[in-house]
Amino acid sequence: MSKITKTMTEQETRKDRFRILVSIDGSEEAYQSLRYAAKMGNGVDADIVLLYVRPIDQGLRSGGLQVRIARENMLDWGLELPGIKYLKKGYEILLDMGAAGDDWHEHNYHSNVDGDPLGDNKIEYINKEGKVIVLKLKVATDIATGILEQWELGPYDLIILGASGRSRGIAKNLWNPAVAEKVATHAQCSVLVARELDIGHGHLICTDGSEKSLETVRKDAYLASRCECPVSIISVALDVESKEEAKTFVETARKELAAMDIEVVNAIACVGTPVDKIIDAGTDYSVIVLSDSGKKGLKRLLLGSVATKVLQEAYTSVMVVR
């Protein structure tokens, strides 16, 4: 009982904090997005959680001998679990950037997971002002599930993870979505899928005039001002006649941002296929920002959305805002 109330209050206090979940897999891409996360989460009101998801050790595939036997044997030799090195390297990057300090308090936590001898482990670093950096080594059946489960423990404002390569064909994606797509579709918070994520080139926000996209504009305004990134707006009209309409959409968004004290660098209204135009324009920016499609359930599964397609085919990083 006390444990539940504890987590409840913990989650209560987390609401006011800006919490970023960064998925680390040892790739350069992941460390680059960690640097971005560090910049975005540099205030005292922001927490950064580094997550490495390790596949669960299960024995059905290993011919009936549980992998735990091999794992226990490895530990007996004094070998570390996979992932610890990657998380430590991530922490060193944060130290180098000054986003973490040597004098922070360190706590270690461990929780048991069914079917795995070692379970989840995390190291939490807290400074005097309550800013938290967490290194978490999590066990899950697959990486996407692990990231989504971690969100449930959060909650988080933003998940950052590396892209899993460009477009693999619609059928394949629908049937067996890659990690990034799966997380971007199922997560209940904003997801940034990093592709050579650099800091300098600002955000490009897509709007279609709907209330939902205006909400995206407002939310990204917050995210962009966290990392002090310049903001631009794009709206794509399907045909020439509705170009005026697109212009008004851009204008509305600009006003919305002006009300929040944020200046728009470029305001683009153009005609064409939304997905292609957005991807082309996006090459000049660090991040393309889109709202999650309004479609729910089966419709979303079958029809997909502009957001999903841009996510799969863009050359730059893409953020789906919720």
Partner 1 sequence: MFNPRLTKDPLEKRLKLRRLRVMSGFSPDLFREKAVAVGSHLNLIYFWDKKWFYVAMLVGTLMLQLPLPDGLSQEGLVVLTMSVVATILFVTEPVPLPTVALMIICAQVLLLGIDSTNVAKSLMTDSVLFIMGSLMLAVAVVKQKLDKRIAWWLVRITGTRTSRICFGISVTSGLLASFIGEHTVAAMMLPVGITLITLTSDDPKKVRNLAAVLLLSIAYGCSIAGIGTPSGGARNAIMIGYWKEFFFDPTNSETYRFIIDYMKWMMFAYPIFLLQLPFVTFILFKTFRPEYQDMSRAVVKLRAQVEKEGAMKRADWMAIFLFFLILIGWITVSSNIGMGTVAVLGASAFLIAGLVRWEDINSGVNWGVVLLYAAAISLGVEMKNSGAALWVAEHFLALLAPLGADEGFGLWAAVSVLTTIVTNTMSNGAAVAVLGPIVLKVAVAAQESPIIIGFITAISSAFAYLTVVGTPACTIVYASGYLKTTDFLNVGWKMVLFSTILMLLIAMVYWPFLGV
Binding site for partner 1 (CB under 8 A): 11, 15-16, 18, 26, 42-45, 54-55, 57-71, 73-74, 76-77, 79, 81-83, 85, 95-99, 101-103, 127, 129, 131, 155, 157, 186, 188-189, 215, 218-222, 225-226, 260-261, 296-298, 301, 322
Nearer Cβ to partner 1 (85/272): 85
Task: Count CA atoms closer than 13 A to 116's CA, side-chain side.
Answer: 18
Q: Which residue has the tokens 């990083």?
A: 317
Q: Closest distance between partner 1 and the C-beta of residue 283, in Å? A: 26
Token code pair at residue 3: 């444990």
Residue pair 300/292 in contact by the 8 Å Cβ criterion:
no
Q: Closest distance between partner 1 and the C-beta of residue 245, in Å? A: 24
Q: Closest distance between partner 1 and the C-beta of residue 306, in Å? A: 20
Nearer Cβ to partner 1 (127/242): 127
Token code pair at residue 208: 């279609």
- What gap in Å lies between CA 124 and CA 10, rounded to an integer? 14
Nearer Cβ to partner 1 (165/272): 165
Residue pair 168/196 in contact by the 8 Å Cβ criterion:
no
Nearer Cβ to partner 1 (255/284): 255
The torsion angles phi and psi of 295, rounded to 5 degrees, stand at -65, 140
Q: Which of 46, 42, 52, 24 is nearest to 97 (CA)?
A: 42
Residue pair 123/107 in contact by the 8 Å Cβ criterion:
yes
Q: Closest distance between partner 1 and the C-beta of residue 223, in Å? A: 8
Token code pair at residue 107: 């706590």
Nearer Cβ to partner 1 (87/314): 87
Q: Which residue has the tokens 């950064």?
A: 48
Residue pair 157/19 in contact by the 8 Å Cβ criterion:
yes
Nearer Cβ to partner 1 (11/111): 11
Token code pair at residue 141: 């059946």
- What gap in Å lies between CA 140 and CA 178, rounded to an integer? 16
Nearer Cβ to partner 1 (43/272): 43
Q: Closest distance between partner 1 and the C-beta of residue 312, in Å? A: 18
Q: Closest distance between partner 1 and the C-beta of residue 43, in Å? A: 5
CA distances from 231 to 22, 76, 130 (A): 23, 53, 30
Q: Closest distance between partner 1 and the C-beta of residue 175, in Å? A: 8
Nearer Cβ to partner 1 (65/240): 65
Residue pair 193/70 in contact by the 8 Å Cβ criterion:
no
